[in-house]
Amino acid sequence: MAEQRKLWSFHGGLHLDDHKSESTQKPVQPLPLPDRLTLPLHQHIGQNAEPVVGVGELVKKGQVVARAPDYVSASIHAPTSGRVIEIGNQPIPHPSGLSDTCIVIEPDGQDSWTQLPEPIGDFRNETAADLRERIRWAGIVGLGGAAFPTAVKVNTGGSGPIETLVINAAECEPYITCDDVLMRERARDIVDGIEIIRQIVGARECLIGIEDNKPEAAEALHQAIARSPDNVIQVVTVPTLYPSGGEKQLIRLLTGREVPSHGLPADIGVLCQNVATTAAVADAVLRGLPLIDRVVTVTGQGVRQPGNFRVALGTPIEFVITQSGGYSEQAHELLLGGPMMGFALHDDQAPVTKATNCLLAASLQEAPGPQPERPCIRCGECAKVCPADLLPQQMFWHARAHDFDRVQEYHLFDCIECGCCAYVCPAHIPLVHYYRYAKTEIWTLERERRKSDLARRRHDARQERLERLERERKSRLRKKKEALDKKSGGSAAASKKAAIAAAMKRVADKKAAQQAETQTSGSE
């Protein structure tokens, strides 16, 4: 039984059919390795990882094959041993359907490990910096879908003290159950990961927010916490309401605190992490294992055997579907993620990445095509369900009119793109598409502005440099002349005066000669 704790509420939200039971009937099943693994260099927020291996090179399981080049980035490791057969553009799971640079590995069937770092058994005696460095080495990112590098997120030194660590176990979107089954099977690892993160950030309490439709997972967590020496971890059951798993919404539910607009949870003394991320942290610290696989939900009426599978990163999505029985006759559309925030995949040859939490092979009933868009009737239903308490209708008008300054006045970037507004819109307006378009345009304009500002600053710096060099040249000439004058002791000035006097004398002599000649001519 979950401990009683006061809960708050957030604005809006939806009660949706969760469709969870279809994929939770079996334990997590490990998938075999495919014939090739495709590892995109961009599996996280931030700068792409840079390859540190070449075509033809043999790699070992767990070996770093692409290294994080910047602070906000994440390294990528080989999920098995084999040979690098290609580095180049391959299909990736992205709404655009475009390709990107990937490392392609052909497994050798040996699955032999590289030399891994020593496990850190007594992590409580380690410094926060050392624990963060281990997490960074492991390439761990947020596994709830955001894929933000975890080592960066737990580095909260510049944000003030963290009072509350919030663990997101809500998994509020329909169909997705990978966190649910992970909590049932690896609750002890999740609690270990929580204790490690608390050691890093110094949080005085930890709240695990879990929706009330996951009683088995909640019980497993209670049992794991009972065996833990850490008595500040509390499981808090929240009502099933989409999107209670949104970071700001869950923080509001559990603490009553509001994350400020354009702010971070750390600004109010809170850090939020996903349960799968905490399990990966435990693997990295306690076992020295990098992030090379993850649990993926495969579900929907379009697949024959729904379930949850532990999948090596880089595995083709088509291979995962085949291992779960293949497509059924009802398969209509393949989504990455859930029906609310997921997106349609253009190619099932794209690989599983760190951000892949669900593959939804949806039937026409589960994913009906877009309805014809009709004019907005100003009903206000979108504003009623918006969990961020925004005015979706006003944002829609200004986004459609390309009035990007005005749309930002309505806090566009506080929109979490949950899809609640579009779900209830009687006019079938794809509201989230307009918001994404506006955000993309604003980001593009901002990049262009920064480039223009940089060019202007470079031009101004060049002009200032040229003017400075000219001033220095004139100063050197003036000093040189003054030095010459000083060295000659004034002889130059005297010479100049003598020359002027001689010239004046010559002029006077010439005039006198002319006058004498005139007088002689007159006397004759």
Structure confidence at residue 4 (pLDDT)? 67
* pLDDT of the residue at 497: 73
Instruction: Characterise 159 by phi-psi region: left (phi > 0), alpha (psi -120 to 50), beta (else).
Output: alpha
pLDDT tens string 272-300: 999 999 999 999 999 999 999 999 999 99
Tell me the H-state helices in 243-374: 247-255, 275-287, 317-323
pLDDT tops 70 at residue 330: yes
Structure tokens belonging to residue 346: 């253009």
Residue 140 in contact with residue 74, Cβ under 8 Å? yes
Task: Determine the Cα–Cα distance for residues 416 and 244; give it in Å rounded to an integer.
Answer: 12
Q: How high is the pLDDT of residue 47?
A: 94
Residues 334, 329: Cα–Cα separation, whole Å: 13
For the residues 55-77, what does the mean pLDDT come to?
Answer: 97
Name residues whose C-beta falls within 8 Å of residue 60's C-beta, 6 or more positions apart in sequence: 78, 81, 112, 113, 114
What would the pLDDT profile of 448-504 be if each residue is shown by its tens digit?
999 999 999 999 999 999 999 999 999 999 888 888 777 765 566 667 777 788 888
pLDDT over 50 (residue 328): yes
DSSP label at residue 113: B
Asked if the peptide bond before residue 243 counts as cis, ω within 30 degrees of 0, the response is yes
The predicted structure's pLDDT at residue 262: 85
Question: Worst-scoring range by mean pLDDT, 10-24, 86-100, 249-263, 507-521?
Answer: 507-521
Using alpha carbons, select from 177, 237, 246 the residue that is nearest to residue 209: 237
The DSSP secondary-structure symbol of 6 reads -
Amino acid at 384: K
C-alpha to C-alpha distance for 231 and 209, rounded to whole angstroms:
16
Pairing assessment for the beta strands 50-51 and 29-30 based on DSSP bridges: unpaired
The band of 1, judged by pLDDT with boundaries at 50, 70 and 90, is very low
Least confident of 210-214, 293-297, 429-433, 519-523: 519-523
The pLDDT assigned to 517 comes to 76
Q: What's the average model confidence in pLDDT over 232-237? A: 95
What is the chain's mean pLDDT, rounded?
A: 93
The predicted pLDDT at position 5 comes to 82
- Dihedral sign for Cα 381, 387, 391, 393, please: negative
Supply 81's token pair. Answer: 């041993």
pLDDT at residue number 492 = 60
Measured in whole angstroms, the distance separating CA 19 from the mean position of its chain's CA atoms is: 29
Cα–Cα dist 217/281, whole Å: 19
> Averaged over 157-180, what is the pLDDT?
92
Task: Determine the Cα–Cα distance for residues 381 and 374; give it in Å rounded to an integer.
Answer: 15
Give the dihedral of Cα atoms 195, 200, 204, 210; nearest 10 deg.
Answer: -50
* For residues 147-169, average pLDDT: 91
What pLDDT score does 500 carry? 81
How far apart are the C-alpha atoms of 59 and 211, rounded to whole Å?
42
pLDDT of residue 489: 59
Q: For the whole prediction, is pTM greater than 0.75?
A: yes
Residues 189, 279 contacting (CB under 8 angstroms): yes
The SS3 assignment for 137 reads helix
| Beta carbons of 155 and 131 less than 8 angstroms apart | no
Quick one: average pLDDT of 310-324? 98
Confidence of residue 522 (pLDDT cuts 50, 70, 90): low
Mean pLDDT of 31-55: 96
pLDDT at position 2:
43
Q: Which of 76-90, 339-353, 423-437, 492-506 has the lowest mean pLDDT?
A: 492-506
Peptide bond into 117 cis (omega under 30): no
Asked if residues 75 and 68 have their Cβ atoms less than 8 Å apart, the reply is yes
pLDDT band at 523 (very low <50, low <70, confident <90, very high): low
Mean pLDDT of 295-318: 98
Q: Tell me, what's the pLDDT at 499?
A: 78
Q: Among all chains, which residue has been given the structure tokens 């926060």? A: 128
